[in-house]
Amino acid sequence: MRLSELSARGGVSVPTIKFYLREGLLPPGRRISSTQAEYDEEHLRRLALVRALIQVGRMSVAGAREVLSALNDPDLDEISQMGKAVAGLPQPLPPAGDDGAARTAEESAREVQRRLGWRVVPENPAHQTLVSALSALERLGFPCDDAALLPYAELAERLAEHEVALIDTFHEPTTRLEAVVALTVLYEPVLLSLRRLAQAEQATRRFAGGPADAAPDA
């Protein structure tokens, strides 16, 4: 397909696609003349992924480029590519610090992972973000020991089993990598929204007399 068709099918303007090409977010098309190139379904799928990273995931162009570089790194095996791609996604919290709260949080994070048989990788950005969040809870006096954390981790494990099984339904390694990134970016706001909806429902049932007292769905 020509650039104009890629633009129409992808819902992205031609100037924006040219910008993505210049920035290395999209691979170049197959050159058919000095001024024209052809693009294929791989470009269309990658364009959708770039839009998800930048528009939904709110990533910078440089951050998106870093994540996407894992998809084409020939020196990494597939699981390492997945890890590099996810590690490049934005991390929501700053470092935990170095006080008593941070040390308690670190031990809680390690213990709950050990209890579930997970490998503890302190340099994993997700581990560091977990410790940072638990540190903040500890400083505010909210429960964040491994007993309080374990139900969350057990739910996360069930969710991860579902997601990895879904990713495994894609047969091409590149498509699986794209699915890892897309599901991570796009389902995090879905999970947050569902959690808040569930909290509202449970709070209504516990504190306001049950579902019958709730306002009807608009």
pTM recorded for the entire structure: 0.72
- pLDDT tens digit string along 123-143? 888 899 999 999 999 999 998
31 phi, psi to nearest 5 deg: -70, 125
Domain with CATH 1.10.1660.10 in the chain: 1-88+170-207
| Stretch 194-206: mean pLDDT | 94
- Contacts of 215 by beta carbon, 8 Å cutoff, 6+ apart: none
* Token pair 């796009």: residue: 186
Class of domain 1-88+170-207: mainly alpha
- The answer on pLDDT for 46 being more than 70 is yes
- pLDDT tens digit string along 142-185? 988 888 999 999 999 999 999 889 888 987 777 787 788 778 87
- The answer on pLDDT for 98 being more than 60 is yes
